[in-house]
Homo-oligomer: A and B are copies of this chain.
Amino acid sequence: MPDPVTGLPVVGMIGGGQLSRMTHQAAIALGLSLRVLADAPTDGAALVTPDVEVGAADDPAAVAAFAKSCDVVTFDHEHVPQDVIRELVSAGATVYPGADALRYAQDKRAMRQKLSELGIAVPRWSNDPDGLPRPYVAKAVRGGYDGRGVWFIGPGDELPDTDLIFEERVAIVHELAIQVARTPSGKVRCWPVVETVQKAGICVEVVAPAPRLSTSLAAQAEEIATTIATELGVVGVLAVELFEAPNGLLVNELAMRPHNSGHWSIEGSTTSQFEQHVRAVLDWPLGDTRPRARSTVMVNLLGGPHTDLANSLPAAMAESPTASIHLYGKGARPGRKLGHVTTLGDDLVETRDRARRAVAVLRGED
């Protein structure tokens, strides 16, 4: 069911958030227009795309109806249930990443087990609340993100009442992430490893390439990402979040979609993660992923108590004329991810400063 005007395939994305929004932006360049299944007509992607269905990602009928006019279906989040995906595929839809791969992004226990089987280092973990000495980290097996579903558990603390795994508290030297894209025919391409800065479990800043990483650890991260993408049969973009620990790299999380740690690639790399995701799920050749500058810095815009974008957007443009500003079409609320800012440059400190200043003004900080 290619597009009748252009003859090009129709890519459908389940979820109407900023990842769909930015994927649509990238798709336009390739002659496409993303088809979106949004929760609401006011979702960020629904505001900017013409081909929108409104429906819940876990409603089998809505998802099936949506998929009918797509050549391939993909996701902007991990919340589509396994049985919904499997039903779609038996009905003839092409869905990437597939249910078997996506399971490892939906279920932290399955992910930890699988990576351990593959010989990939992960934090020491257990299914048994008494299997590790406290303090440790308890993680919800399903549904956690952006700091939700993660608890630091001290000696006397009660455990939250949900399905949990338990992990050692890693002595983190740096937090890292690496993006990789894989096609159904098995072609794989990594972007450079990035360093991420987290506050309260939420990514606030990304520097690409990771400025304080040895060449050998960078190569090891690429190998880990390539192995995971290949062995798990991922199709599309895979983000691997890593801890650099004193003894080496440990895999923390997986996301099988464009990811916040890859937003820098829109300006910072020859091919953005959004375009690459589209290429990958269509089994088209992958684009070059080299960085365009010595340093690229991405700073997230989280709503503050005084954020008012209609006023602060032009002020931020005045403050930082080199900042590439990305807003997600959301009303401002404290703590909400409203957008991000990217800067490129030769000098990391100066480049980061330009991005941070733009974000501070956008937030309405004094």
Residues of chain A touching chain B, judged by Cβ–Cβ distance below 8 Å, are: 2-3, 5-9, 21-22, 24-25, 28-31, 33, 42, 46-50, 52, 270-271, 279, 282, 284-288, 290, 292-293, 308-310, 313-314, 317-318, 321-322, 324-331, 339, 344
Contacts and interface: CB of A to CB of B under 8 A. Distances in A.
A8 B313 contact: yes
B339 A6 contact: no
A319 B363 CA distance: 43
A33 B2 contact: no
B287 A322 contact: yes
Residue among A28, A271, A329 facing the most chain B CB atoms (10 A cut-off): A28
A229 to B, nearest CB: 18
B279 A30 contact: no
A6 B270 CA distance: 30
Which of A327, A339, A344 gathers the greatest number of chain B CB atoms within 10 Å? A327
Contacts of A24: 28, 48
Contacts of A285: 314, 317-318, 321
Contact of A284 (B28, B42, B282, B313): B313
B284 A5 contact: no
B5 A310 contact: no
A140 B45 CA distance: 44
What 3 A-B pairs have minimum CB-CB distances, sorted nearest first?
A31-B327, A285-B317, A285-B318
Given A52-B50, A270-B322, A310-B2, A331 B7 contact: yes
Nearest to A340: B29
A5 B21 CA distance: 15
A252 B33 CA distance: 37
A91 B79 CA distance: 49
B270 A324 contact: yes
Contact of A292 (B3, B8, B293, B329): B293
Nearest to A314: B284
A271 B22 CA distance: 17
Given A2-B310, A5-B330, A284-B317, 20 more contacts: A5-B42, A5-B331, A6-B309, A6-B310, A7-B309, A7-B331, A8-B310, A8-B327, A25-B25, A31-B309, A31-B329, A31-B339, A47-B50, A50-B50, A50-B52, A270-B321, A270-B344, A271-B321, A286-B317, A287-B322
Contacts of A324: 29, 270
Given A318-B285, A331-B7, A313 B28 contact: no
B8 A325 contact: no
